[in-house]
Amino acid sequence: MAVGARSGHGEPEKRPEGAGGPAAGGAPDGSVPPVPPVPRESPGGTPPDAGSGPVRAGEGNEESGKPGEKAEEPKKQRSFWKELPILVGVALVLALIIKTFLVQAFSIPSESMQDTLQKGDRVLVDKLTPWFGSEPERGEVVVFHDPGGWLKGAAAEETGPVASGVQKVLSFIGLMPSAEEKDLIKRVIAVGGDTVECKGGNSPVVVNGKALDEPYIFPGDTPCSDKPFGPVKVPEGRLWVMGDHRQNSLDSRWHQDIDRGTVSVDDVVGRAIVVAWPVNRWATLPVPGTFDQPGINAAAAVAPPALGLAGAVPLVLWHRRRLLTERAPARGGERAPAEG
């Protein structure tokens, strides 16, 4: 056997010259020294002890202490004075949207709606429901534009330049009524298609033959003793309105020379739903129960007969056609023998 050969390891019997000699780094006896293990690289390609060396300036992370990571600079917050104009702008936009589509504040300018509303009260008017096709109903308190001449001769309230400027700003965002707008507030007594009248004295207001019990009338007033009227047939799409302070209200009774004293539904701004100011007078403005009495709705009183007639006509025609169909074969059978 050759020198240096090992049995059972599959190595070649002969080695290259000098492979195991001292010059090649082998042992003096010619044997091969063990090869030292090569350190494996980390997944990132860096030996395990690569981080143990000195860290260069600027490569460390002051917060985490890890090499190679840069410290993140904290984000600077805007100052309050920079954000204030944005907040004011958002508030104004929201106020304009609310004023245009939802609710608007109005000030009561006179005593015509006492005791329900006092002069100087602030009411919130619902402007949302008319966008969905809802129309004013009997008993509701509504704000409407001057139909034409109702406010003629009314003295305008004089204010100073500062107060006038403040009112213009607040009216622009819907917190106060505009001094230029001519609006009134009254209670709806009758709607399109109704017949309304009042004979004077202590006689009640009558709508479609039903007398109204009006507990909201100003104490000591009568329903219409100062201005009897009617009967008046309210045109479709219009309203008959009256103030709760009957002897101090220039309402529909006093303007019958123009459209029978009625107000167009299109002139209605919205329904007053709540007294918002002053706080000690906070109250809702519901529809009085007298307007819910049976038979007051003229349209409902006519509807059942009309619907019955509309349903009976097709039924009669169908029955008559059926009888004609049944008689046709019998007549044909009688005539057949004679023709034969």
Mark whether 186 is an active-site residue: yes
Mark whether 107 is an active-site residue: no
What's this model's pTM, rounded to 2 decimal places? 0.59
Which among 120-129, 148-157, 174-183, 190-199 has the top mean pLDDT?
Answer: 190-199
Active-site residue identified among 171, 186, 249, 252 = 186
Does residue 231 have a cis peptide bond before it, meaning omega lies within 30 degrees of 0? yes
Q: Summarize the confidence of residues 303-322 as an average pLDDT.
A: 52
**Which pLDDT score is estimated for 13?**
45
As a whole-number percent, the residues of the chain with pLDDT over 70 amount to 53
Contact 63, 73 (CB under 8 A): no
CA distances (Å), origin 69, targets 27, 43, 49, 65, 252: 48, 18, 18, 8, 83
Decide which of 18 and 318 is more confident. Answer: 318
**Which pLDDT score is estimated for 36?**
58
Mean pLDDT of the chain: 73
Strand 268-277, strand 283-284: pairing: antiparallel
**Which pLDDT score is estimated for 142?**
96
Q: Summarize the confidence of residues 171-196 as an average pLDDT.
A: 78
